[in-house]
Amino acid sequence: MDCLVCHDTTGKYKKPGPDAGMPAKDIDLKLIAQNVGHSSRATCGACHFNGGGGDAVKHADLSRQLLKPNRSCDIHMGGYDFTCTECHETRNHKIAGRSSSVPVVEGKVTCIQCHSEEPHYCGSVLDHHLNNHAKTLDCNVCHSPVFAKCKPTKTWWDWSKAGDKNRKPKKDKFGQPDYDAKKGEFKWEESVVPDYAWDSGYMKRVFIGDKVDMNSDVINLTEPVGSIHDPASKITPFKIMRAVQAVDADNEYFLIPHLWPRNKQDDTAYWKNFDWEKAFQDGMDAVGLEYSGAFKWKETWMYWRLDHEVMPADMALSCVQCHDSLKGDKTCNRCHQDNRDVDFKKIAHKGTDFSFMKSQGRDVEHLIEKTDYINFKALGYKGDPILHGGRFKKLPMGYEKKE
């Protein structure tokens, strides 16, 4: 058991990759042990920032940027200096959190646990509307409208292209490589508009050995369970990791390749021998499932809920950024009596300032002036709910005809 990996406060503890979890040999373990303390963003991040084999690769919303984040990068960890366990409450070493990428849950973490079900109470005339929105929208729909806003994340990983040792990796506009002979072809994105889906908090998953539909173009390894008709489901932002990986053509389950060489004699590891057949045979032996000897490449998607990178409140999406029907309006008189004290432009237009984000070097030019941000039709609405009604609420009689 390794206590120091989570309880180091010196930042000096190191574990070199392949050495079966043993700490580096050249570090002062006594000094580290004498300075133990609570876990921190640095200790949790040592693993969780590096998911997928590198900084920000897997989790779009977790990267080394969160060690000392800018407030726009993450309002909780930047400025308020939250540690991970302030939200991911820990009891008896069980850490709360409902990951979408893995099935294990030891307690859930929600925004509501601190912010309540009526999180808007600043005294604005909008509070009422925003709290109504909170019944249908996950907080991060408005409060974190782009993911990987601090650091590019991998969004496409084609394993089928791996193995070409002559192919030179090209750097993309973020300076990230598009290829690695061991891993295949990649795409990286920064400040990305999430995919939105109805989510009840439950996930559907494909496990090792589960039969999959070979005729389907895309197989979802994880996908949220939710419906526009379920009052408990909310529109929720996701990063979808899109990839191409191997399925056993006869057994119709996913194949696990043996990647890391065990030692110098290893002659099956893909990262040493570049032979998928051997790597699949060894990998499937390890999990105790038959490999038929025939495989097919399949596109797979994994939905990862975006829960971090919450932006400051004044950078949340505005009414107009989703409801294009309000774009031409000058007052709230579509539904309310006019009141000269209400500054419509200020409350309905001022939202996420993508021009500012662009000036800070973020890749968001195409989002300036964007409206219908979450794509109502794709979520099952007839269109902008202001014109067509919400999922449960009908509009006042005859209102539809006005438009």
Partner 1 sequence: MIKKIVFFSSLVLLTSGLCRAEVWKAPDQERAKERSKQVVPFIKEYKDDHKIARKMSLMDAGISLNDVQDVYFLMDSPIIKDREDHYGPVRFSHKRHANLAKDCSKCHHFRPKDEAALETTRCSACHQDAFNPEYPERIGLKAAYHQQCIQCHQEQAKGPVDCKGCHLQNVPDHKQLVQLPDNPDPFQVTAECLRCHDAQAEDMLTTAHWLWKGPSPYTTGHGKEVMHGKGTTALNNY
Give the span between the Cα atoms of 48 and 56, in whole angstroms.
Answer: 9
CB closer to partner 1 out of 203 and 387: 203
**Smallest gap, in angstroms, from Cβ of residue 267 to partner 1?**
25
Residues 141-180 that bind partner 1 (CB under 8 A): 154, 157, 159
Q: 259: closest CA among 156, 158, 159, 157?
A: 159
Q: What residues does 123 pair with on adjacent strands?
A: none
CB closer to partner 1 out of 38 and 377: 38
Angle at 243 between CA 238 and CA 247, to 5 degrees: 125
222, 101 Cβ separation under 8 angstroms: yes
CB closer to partner 1 out of 86 and 343: 86
279, 268 Cβ separation under 8 angstroms: yes
**Smallest gap, in angstroms, from Cβ of residue 154 to partner 1?**
7
Residue of the chain from 146, 243, 322, 367 that contacts partner 1 (CB under 8 A): 243
Give the span between the Cα atoms of 192 and 190, in whole angstroms.
Answer: 5
Residue of the chain from 62, 137, 203, 386 that contacts partner 1 (CB under 8 A): 203
Give the SS3 label for residue 186.
Answer: strand
Residue of the chain from 128, 135, 171, 204 that contacts partner 1 (CB under 8 A): 204
Q: Does 258 bind partner 1 (CB under 8 A)?
A: no
CB closer to partner 1 out of 101 and 371: 101
**Smallest gap, in angstroms, from Cβ of residue 1 to partner 1?**
5
Interacting residues of 23 by C-beta distance below 8 A, sequence separation 6+: 2, 4, 5, 13, 14, 15, 29
Q: Work out whether strand 153-158 and strand 234-248 pair parallel, antiparallel, or are unpaired.
A: parallel
Number of residues that bind partner 1 (CB under 8 A): 71
Concatenate the DSSP letters of all residues of 282-348 into one string. HHHHHHT----S-EEEEEEEEEEE--S-PPPGGGSPPHHHH-GGGTT-SSSTTTS---TT--HIIII
CB closer to partner 1 out of 118 and 275: 118
The tokens describing 290, both together, are 């038959």
Residues 20-49 that bind partner 1 (CB under 8 A): 22-23, 28-30, 33-38
Residue of the chain from 182, 205, 370, 391 that contacts partner 1 (CB under 8 A): 205
CB closer to partner 1 out of 67 and 335: 67
Q: Does 3 bind partner 1 (CB under 8 A)?
A: yes
Kindly write out the interface string for residues 272-311 of this chain, putting x where it contacts partner 1 by CB under 8 A and - elsewhere: ----------------------------xxx---------
Give the span between the Cα atoms of 57 and 43, in whole angstroms.
Answer: 18
Sign of the Cα torsion 195, 363, 155, 144 reads: negative
Residues 60-79 that bind partner 1 (CB under 8 A): 68, 70-71, 75, 78-79
Residues 78-137 that bind partner 1 (CB under 8 A): 78-81, 86, 89, 91-95, 98, 101-106, 114-116, 118-119, 121-123
Q: Does 56 bind partner 1 (CB under 8 A)?
A: no
Residues 348-377 that bind partner 1 (CB under 8 A): none
